[in-house]
Structure 1
Amino acid sequence: MIGNLKPLEIILIIAVILLLFGAKKLPEMARSLGKSARILKSEAKAMKKDGENEAAAAAPTADAPQQAAPRTIQAAPGDVTSSRPVNEPNRTAQG
């Protein structure tokens, strides 16, 4: 469907978008979309890494147990202003 558009039609669509959202809003929207994509990518990597860590923990080695460092959630790579520590429940047996 997009392949059937002529250059004049594409320019008309872009002009309508500019009129609807305004030239000032478009860069802000693009920045926000890029930041959201970076956050999604970093969270997906963290989930994959957690899955690998859980699989490795399922097969323990004969070495001494390692102490886990506290995890931190970051809004975007390199953005330390909005990072916060994660409070995880203790996994000790209570009884």
Structure 2
Amino acid sequence: MNLGPLEIGLIILAVLLLFGYKKLPDASRSLGRSLRIFKGEMKGMKDDDRGPGAAPAAGPAALDAADRDRRAQLEAEAAAAEARAAELRARAARPGVADPR
């Protein structure tokens, strides 16, 4: 099956008419995400087929770096939440001060 320039142009025109030019970037982005998820799931299934003695695809150093980054991010979020909670407790302890909301 050979597609010539006329057929390709008609396909592009049909896609533009169906989705509109404003929604095409979102549609292509979601398609890419779906394909990435599918690819990851297929890789996971292949890893499961290898058996329990198989090593993970990513090395321990890569996992440790990712874990450290995630842990640092979570600790920063927790510190910010604790500071906000302390501020709200201090504001609530003062008599006659109303909540600004």
Q: Which TM-score band (shorter chain)?
A: 0.3 to 0.5
Pick the structure with more strand per residue: 1
Give the TM-score normalised by the residue count of structure 2: 0.44
Q: For CA contacts below 8 A with separation 6 or more, give which structure has more relative contact order.
A: 1
Pick the structure with more helix per residue: 2
Larger Rg: 2
Give the TM-score normalised by the residue count of structure 1: 0.46
